[in-house]
């Protein structure tokens, strides 16, 4: 798909890339760029639509032999309160507004989509799956007591995290259905439903994340994952408090996350990505780095969501 020819819908941000994509070609010639575009068009593009409290983001990702690349990107802001991520109650407070935003974001980018649900809708835990146990059953067994809804209503899946470890998550079926119905009403055919923190964690693992506590930020919740040797050894989900002093609270949370399974000999290094990561990085100082960046070719798009970084990592 040629992202340059997509016209932005009203109210959306559909920036053109700085140059034709060339991450793996430092100075591509025009012929090579054309070749790249033809290959991407040939190899297929997949549409991802992520929803969070502040915006709906649609990204068309070209899937090729060299990995995924963002071919088109749109962000449609939501008015405060239109969408409130929650594990148990209704999420789409003003469903019409959200549906409209989804429609505008995905306009012209495709019909089949993978939905990415925001931080805060799921219970997430790192578990060690015993031999012979079904990972989904075991995750549900571990999370059942902490779910704010009946376990029978949970949709459970798990992400392999090295060895027998898995990052499991449980989402209420009604919550997923709420998002799926909004997407369907916006004209999309939902193929899969992912969770933003799990997509980000998968990207961190794929990229061989350095030893640190990685804070993957959503609009209302965040996931803290302490990594060692490229795999997580502790995972926590927290609601965000974006009031003054969030950076210092984040640092303390990171230290607690590292202490859960770490040796505590060194101060926890914190790596931040996702919503408002730039502001938090500035407040935290030099020690905070960038974990996931999915829009190197799209500087006008602003701060990318962590799930998008996870997809292209």
Cα distance between residue 196 and residue 219, in whole Å: 11
In Å, how far are 65, 93, 191 from 120, measured between CA atoms?
33, 15, 22
Nearest approach, Cβ of 310 to another protein (angstroms)?
9
**Contacting positions for another protein (CB under 8 A):** 42-44, 46, 63-65, 115, 117, 122, 129, 135, 155, 157-160, 166, 169, 171, 173, 176-177, 180, 190-195, 198-199, 202
Cα-based torsion angle of the residue sequence 128, 134, 135, 139 in order, rounded to the nearest 10 degrees = -90
Nearest approach, Cβ of 28 to another protein (angstroms)?
20
Angle at Cα 306 formed by Cα 302 and Cα 308, nearest 5°? 80
Nearest approach, Cβ of 201 to another protein (angstroms)?
10
Nearest approach, Cβ of 224 to another protein (angstroms)?
19
Nearest approach, Cβ of 129 to another protein (angstroms)?
8
Task: Name the residue nearer to another protein (CB basis): 4 or 177.
Answer: 177
Task: Name the residue nearer to another protein (CB basis): 180 or 303.
Answer: 180
Cα-based torsion angle of the residue sequence 299, 305, 308, 312 in order, rounded to the nearest 10 degrees = 60
Task: Name the residue nearer to another protein (CB basis): 193 or 231.
Answer: 193
Q: Which residue is it, tokens 């350095």?
A: 210
Task: Name the residue nearer to another protein (CB basis): 45 or 55.
Answer: 45
Task: Name the residue nearer to another protein (CB basis): 46 or 251.
Answer: 46
Cα distance between residue 194 and residue 211, in whole Å: 25
Please choose, from the candidates 205, 219, 258, 218, the residue with its C-alpha nearest in 3D space to the C-alpha of residue 235. 258
């Amino acid at each position: 798909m040629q992202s340059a020819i997509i016209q932005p819908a009203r109210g959306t941000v559909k920036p053109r890339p700085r140059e034709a994509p060339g991450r793996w070609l430092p100075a591509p010639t025009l012929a090579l760029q054309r070749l790249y575009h033809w290959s991407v068009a040939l190899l297929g593009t997949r549409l991802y639509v992520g929803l969070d409290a502040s915006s709906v983001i649609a990204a068309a990702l070209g899937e090729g032999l060299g990995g995924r690349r963002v071919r088109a990107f749109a962000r449609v802001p939501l008015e405060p309160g239109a969408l409130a991520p929650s594990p148990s109650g209704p999420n789409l407070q003003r469903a019409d507004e959200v549906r409209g935003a989804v429609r505008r974001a995905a306009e012209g980018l495709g019909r089949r989509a993978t939905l990415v649900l925001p931080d805060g809708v799921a219970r997430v835990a790192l578990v060690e799956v015993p031999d012979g146990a079904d990972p989904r059953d075991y995750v549900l067994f571990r999370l059942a007591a902490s779910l704010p809804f009946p376990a029978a209503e949970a949709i459970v899946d798990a992400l392999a995290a090295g060895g027998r470890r898995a990052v499991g998550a449980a989402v209420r079926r009604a919550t997923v259905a709420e998002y799926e119905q909004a997407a369907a009403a916006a004209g999309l055919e939902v193929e899969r439903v992912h969770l933003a923190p799990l997509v980000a964690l998968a990207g961190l693992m794929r990229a061989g994340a350095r030893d640190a506590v990685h804070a993957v930020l959503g609009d209302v919740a965040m996931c803290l994952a302490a990594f060692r040797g490229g795999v997580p050894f502790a995972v926590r989900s927290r609601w965000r408090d974006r009031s003054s002093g969030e950076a210092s609270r984040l640092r303390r949370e990171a230290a607690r996350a590292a202490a859960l399974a770490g040796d505590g000999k060194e101060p926890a290094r914190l790596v931040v990505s996702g919503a408002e990561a730039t502001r938090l990085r500035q407040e935290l100082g030099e020690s905070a780095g960038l974990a996931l960046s999915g829009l190197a070719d799209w500087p006008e798009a602003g701060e990318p969501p962590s799930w998008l970084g996870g997809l292209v990592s």
